Amino acid sequence: RDPLPGGVPFQLRFPAVTEARGQAERRQARPAARVTVLTGKAEKSPMEFDGAELFYIGRGTESRERNIINHLVFVAGDRITCSVSRNHGHIFWDEATAACRFAKDRRENKAVLYRNGRGAGTEVNEFQTPMLHNGDHLRLGKAEIRFELLQDRNQQPGGVQ
């Protein structure tokens, strides 16, 4: 800091450089995550994924409406699984908050978030993308999944707190 004439201090800032450093640090901090189906039937459960990628959830492999292949695939066969929409929602990484979040893909899809699997639950509406914490449960229709953060892919369920 050098003073201007008259003794007023000033400081040069380079926000683009500082912002780029912060983004690089957040990218490196993206955790792996695991999703486990607790009620309902899925092709594969649990499933691990990199927190940096979009993780689509729905009934059936493909969603005709969005031309995307679901990662967590609920299979038809019972009333619980049939309550999950073909494109129910997705989990994504939010750079601004450095956290995984959940979003419903259709307004009419029912989704309820239970913090750490407990409590009365909070219904997710189309305007919300709640932050997901280790141990949170999501009820999608009548099916339920558990979200877990992992420090590394060899970690057992439980993740970081």
Q: What is the pLDDT of residues 19-29, one digit of tens each?
A: 655 555 555 56
3 contacts: CB under 8 Å, gap ≥ 6 = 9, 10
pLDDT higher than 70, residue 44: yes
Question: What is the pLDDT averaged over residues 124-150?
Answer: 93
The structure's pTM equals 0.74
What is the b/e burial string over 32-49, where b = at least 16 CB atoms within 10 angstroms of the residue's CB? bbbbbbeebbbeebebeb
Strands 122-123, 99-104: pairing is unpaired
